[in-house]
Amino acid sequence: MINLETPKKFRAFVEQANRVATEFLRANSRKYDLAEHAYPKELDLLASLIDGLADSGEGQGAGATGVRRSDDGDGGVRNGSNMASVLSVAETCWGDVGLTLSMPRQGLGNSAIASVATDEQLARFDGMWASMAITEPDCGSDSAAITTTAVKDGDEYVLNGEKIFVTSGERSDAVVVWATLDKNLGRAAIKSFVVPKSLPGIRVERLEHKLGIKASDTATIVLDDCRVPAENLLGDPEVNVDKGFAGVMQTFDNTRPLVAAMAIGCARAALERTREILESAGVEIDYDRPALAQSAAAATYLQLESDWEAARLLTLSAAWMADNRQPNSLEASMAKAKAGRTCNDVTLRCVELAGTLGYGEDELLEKWARDSKILDIFEGTQQIQQLIVARRVLGLTSAELR
């Protein structure tokens, strides 16, 4: 039976994450929003604390590096690293989304490694900060259309191509690059490679100026005859046309609930602050009365809060399924689609409800509204998530439903 209350063993951990969000992230939120591309040095101490918790076994899978499916256990119901990561990320993004994305060694590339790497690779890449490089100038939502190539040459692969919108692309130690072994074989030939940035042939071309998450560096990365050790390929090196690229796509089943959790945290921050503003203005929000019997502002707030609760439950359900080794591709996309769009709607409507306070930089509401947009886009846009959900529900392939 699924119980989506915060597990007792995680409650102290979630409280710690909330304190971190309050004292480190929220406290520096505006500072690094205004100082785009400046490295948040305060995060070094925080990252060391998280590493220490993980090494001691007290971290309960804190952050992206904890996201991994395990075959261990006695077959009973369990709450593991996926649930812990979702709960902690929701708290830190309640503090600040951009700073959460800037956390050393907690990147989406680390999630990819944790999801599909072998035990040997996990040990070899331990302590590495990895970003994720999928999107290309001519390839956005359709990951199967990747043109970056990886050609086997002895004990190495030679990578060539350009990747854009790489989160933490400048600050990370390595980049998990999606590339094709053979364009003629389509999506089945797409593999992911851990590419250390110390290797010749990989360079950061530029940093992007963005609408939101300004604390996070977003880079364009060029690969020019970059030679990568063959053992840095994640997953099965063989091309299986029947299987397609399910191996690399498995990463999304674990990372999409994480992005949904980011949206849950950001939206919750906006809701809590908006309620404070409304109540200080004399607007009463009564849960015992029908919304239609209350003021327009109160009715709007209740509707936003109910949408947020639905998104939260979908997110927790997807994480729970991953922890209990149940296929969750459908649920991961549902959670990402619902949470991403809900966060957009909640933050923008909260700006409206707060009036002039919501639009000015004296409040963080306007920042949360800007930050929220990326949560509906990266790790698969709203439209792509809806397409995946439709395929799963209708039992159709990508060729049958495009």
Q: Which residues are catalytic?
A: 379
Residues 6+ apart with CB under 8 A from 3: none
Q: 192: which DSSP letter? A: E
Q: State both tokens at 261.
A: 């959790």
Output the CA–CA distances (angstroms, integers) from residue 218 to 121, 170, 223, 340, 402, in the order listed: 26, 7, 16, 19, 29
Q: Give the SS3 label for residue 157.
A: strand
By DSSP bridging, strand 149-153 and strand 202-207 are: unpaired
- Closest alpha carbon to 167 in 118, 134, 198, 142: 134
Q: State both tokens at 233.
A: 């390929």
Largest CA distance in the chain: 73
Task: Tell me the C-alpha distance between 65 and 106, whole Å.
Answer: 6
Give the rounded distance of the alpha carbon of 103 from its chain centre: 12
Q: Give the SS3 label for residue 161.
A: strand
Q: Give the SS3 label for residue 292.
A: helix
Give the rounded distance of the alpha carbon of 207 from its chain centre: 20
Task: Tell me the C-alpha distance between 11 and 189, whole Å.
Answer: 43
Q: State both tokens at 258.
A: 């994480």
Residues 6+ apart with CB under 8 A from 27: none
Task: Tell me the C-alpha distance between 124 and 17, whole Å.
Answer: 28
Task: Tell me the C-alpha distance between 182 and 379, whole Å.
Answer: 24
